[in-house]
Structure 1
Amino acid sequence: MELKNKVIAITGAAQGLGLAMAQSFAEAGANVALIDMQEDVVKAAADSISALGVKAMGYALDVTDEAAVELAFAQIAQDFGQLNGLINSAGIMRDGMLLKVKEGKVVSKMSKQQFQSVMDVNVTGTFLCSREAATQMIQTNSHGVIINLSSVSRGGNMGQTNYSASKSAVATMTVSWAKELARFNIRTGCIAPGLVNTAMAAQMRPEMRDKFLASVPAGRLADVAELGHAAKFIFENDYFTGRTLELDGGTRV
């Protein structure tokens, strides 16, 4: 797919990785719809991207709210006249052990809310946004691409029952949708990064960060620009669909 003049929606786009991807696609000539819960911030981000000479609009949205997601994607299609892509970048982490045991007794458990909150945003949010993006792609007769953000943690990681499960789920949904949506000229892709150099990574305790870096053959964190490059590859290569692109510097969890 040629990106110039295409319309790409990106969730979690007010800051961090989502914003970096929006900037990367705008620099390639794509028009972008930025989606995030923070209304003032996402509107300001859209204004800054408009300075690159493309159309950019911000939409305040809770991706777990089904009715709101339906309305938002219908509005995006109306505002831009088409929809050619979606990048599901919105996601949260609520790490914790399944159980904490002290002197042979269980002293605490991962709560249902801690588990469910991650599944709601990372899985249900991805499902709802992808379903509505695909709906608008079909109804506007737009060839399209849907990219999900997974993680190296999808293979299972200590202290990340909820996060690992959610990132495994979005990778498998990518495969299902590739098979279902191909007849509508919609492709899918998934990117599974290791730790990315964002504000979230900067909040890690130094000893945890050093321990993680020691496990990365590349010896550093991923740069947000490298994830943007990976996403553009998936969009631009018309034979790529239904697969996960690992971008983890050689890390294996």
Structure 2
Amino acid sequence: MVQSQRIGIVGLGLLGGSIGLALHKKAIAAEVCGFTRRRETLEWALNHKIITEGFIDFSEFLKRIDFLVLAAPVLTNLHYLEEIHRLKPELVCTDVGSTKEKIVKRADQLWGEKSGFVGAHPIAGSEKSGIRYACDDLFADRIVILTPGHSSRQGAVTQVRDFWQGLGGTIITMDAARHDVIVARTSHLPHVAAFILCRILQDKINDADYLACIGNGFRDATRIAKSDAEVWTEIFLTNPSIAEVTELFKKDLEFFMELVRNKDYAGMRSFLEQARKIRDALDKEG
């Protein structure tokens, strides 16, 4: 990556804001331009030196930049991908979306060949949302999954890889469809479980006895249920693999219920021990 680049960020939330801060910290870009529809967000980003210039007009924004990061919710990113193809098809761009197949397929359809779009998913973030939680080291030593499409030109892939490495990311590359299958299990289903656990308390939230009995287990298991509802609505509805994985979860729940009904001590202990060993193995891998 060359330091003379004018890098643009669409969407100034936690991820977009953190990209802006990291770019400044590492002196990667000559200019960091931000685009959002909310003027107050632009002013906050300018005042806190997250961006050097802000735009609410997308066509003017595109004229100013030569590299772009789509950091809005996934369906919003799809909309702006269409606009990029229409207004500045030669632009090199990447994204931060948690689902990849839909946007990568759309880029392949739009460009056919020699696309500047290279999908990316930084395995970073938080249940917190909004630019006020942005930090300059969010991507340091984090995995960033690149999912180039059939139409992605090699020069764009190299530039996008260099960009994420410049922010401190460790790069792995995989097919977009495989990415979505994997994260349905490792990221999306855990969010489903956290949201449902919270919903189970919806008619007890004012019951003092229930509240007194909420310990660290429940809080730890549901921390990610504080995540942005708009973001996660779009993630769930753009990853078809979540339905299949939820069915697997449902089958394990049904098996667990059978163990309880049958008062199957040996079966229950085996069920839990298997889960514990899997969790221990994750710590060893980490």
TM tier relative to shorter chain: 0.3 to 0.5
Higher RCO, Cα 8 Å, sep 6+:
1
After TM superposition, the score normalised by the length of structure 2 is: 0.43
Query: Which is helix-richer, 1 or 2?
Result: 2
After TM superposition, the score normalised by the length of structure 1 is: 0.47
Query: Which is strand-richer, 1 or 2?
Result: 1
